[in-house]
Amino acid sequence: MRGLDISSTQYLEMNYFIDSLMTDHEAFILYIDNRLSSLGISREDYENPDFSSKDHPESPLINDLLDKRRKMSETITKIGLLKEYYLNLLSISEFVLYNSSEHKDDYSEMNISGQSYRKLKIQELERSKISSDLHDSSIQILTGLVHKCELIQKLLDIDVSRVKIEISSVIEDLKRSISDLRSLIFNLRAPSFMDFSLRESIEDFCSYKNKDRKVSVVVLSEGDENDLLPIVKSNLYRICQEAFSNILSHADASRAKIFIRYSTDEILLNITDNGVGIDEELFLNNSLGKKNFGLLIMKERAEILGGRFEVFSPETGGTEIRVFIPRFPEGV
């Protein structure tokens, strides 16, 4: 089975088509509302269950407009369901692409070693996650902006006050899109371990992501990191980065703690939060989907260094992640 690429031209064209249908129907409803308003019929009137137009001189026209409005509203609901179905289908297909035996066989046929395969898998997962993040944030916003601008064009000669509201909304969406792109760029930026310790780099990232102080986070370390290989530091940093991003986005937590202990032979990374927790069965049964790409990436990063990755929800609530990595991984 072949997965769908959410960054593909075909996907964007389909998404644009669905959103265009939605915009066109919403614009037509607005046109009907203005026609009814010109006849002295307000939204409060026709939304009243007891409303009747039989005594109005334009009763046939009013009834015809109301019937068209009802049908348009029903169609908009169906379009919304179509879009939701399409996105769900995309998520399933995308997950199958990266977990199917066909995809894995591609690598085995190329005679790639286990460690190289893991590196490739991490790359594919991260690319898919970046693509997903772009779609869920910037692409969605920018696509919506196109349709808002189309709606503004149609409203210019109909409802100037509504145009002003829509323009204000466009400005806010643009600001949000710029903020999302800046955040994505910051996430991709490589940390400088020449100038800062691993703990300081993690603190810097958490401070940037947590600007609004949504979560009270503390980063602690124990032991000496000076002789760690750069690749070990980099992967530990990326795991913390992914874990804390998940806490902010999905955990609904108010507190988080990141603790790193450097011992003679092993490194322990422990990340906890007091959020809603996680379904451990999904992780244990390898049933993670698109929304769990982050956990898959963290697991692969730990295992490529010869370590292990554990995640569970304690009885006290929240989520705890434990990563055990050899201080000097073999073959790295």
Residue pair 8/128 in contact (Cβ under 8 Å)? The answer is no
The pLDDT tens digits for 76-93 are: 888 777 767 666 665 555
Distance CA 258, CA 322 (A): 10
| Cα 32–chain centre separation | 36
Superfamily of domain 190-326, CATH level 4:
Histidine kinase-like ATPase, C-terminal domain (3.30.565.10)
The pLDDT tens digits for 7-64 are: 444 555 566 667 667 777 777 788 888 888 888 888 888 788 788 888 788 888 888 8
Residue whose token pair is 């992967």: 235
Burial class of residue 258, CB neighbours in 10 A (0-12, 13-18, 19+): buried
Distance CA 221, CA 111 (A): 40
Residue pair 214/248 in contact (Cβ under 8 Å)? The answer is yes
Give the lowest-confidence range in 53-67, 120-134, 293-307: 120-134
* pTM of the entire predicted model: 0.53
Instruction: Write out the residue limits of the CATH 3.30.565.10 domain(s) in the chain.
Output: 190-326
Edge-first strand order for the sheet with 255-262 is: 216-222, 255-262, 266-273, 319-326, 308-312
3-class DSSP state of 206: helix
Residue pair 298/199 in contact (Cβ under 8 Å)? The answer is no
The tokens describing 262, both together, are: 């450097």
Residue whose token pair is 């046939």: 60
- Strand 308-312 relative to strand 319-326: parallel, antiparallel, unpaired? antiparallel
Distance CA 311, CA 277 (A): 10
- Strand 216-222 relative to strand 255-262: parallel, antiparallel, unpaired? parallel
Question: For position 235, what pLDDT does the model report?
Answer: 87
Whether 324 has a pLDDT exceeding 60, the answer reads yes
Distance CA 241, CA 197 (A): 15
